[in-house]
Amino acid sequence: MNKNTVLAWATTIMIIVGLALVALGAFRYKDVAGWGFASVGIGFFAIAWVFNALKGRV
């Protein structure tokens, strides 16, 4: 496994966790905690985007 493969797996895992957090915020928690879960999920998407941009450059 080279660096690009590791970054690809990290990006995939981050997207899955981000989708799970956004889904928890949207469907499970209807109060203020839902907003927190959704915002953390969006943060996971941002980090996954950075990991994806680093592929081939590191």
User: What digits encode the pLDDT tens for the residues 1-57?
Assistant: 888 899 999 999 999 999 999 999 999 988 899 999 999 999 999 999 998 898 888
What range defines the domain where residue 18 resides?
3-54
- Helix (H) or strand (E) holding 9, with range, is helix 3-23
* Closest-CA residue to 46 (of 4, 20, 11, 6): 11
Look up residue 36 and give its two tokens: 């927190």
The total number of structural domains in the chain stands at 1
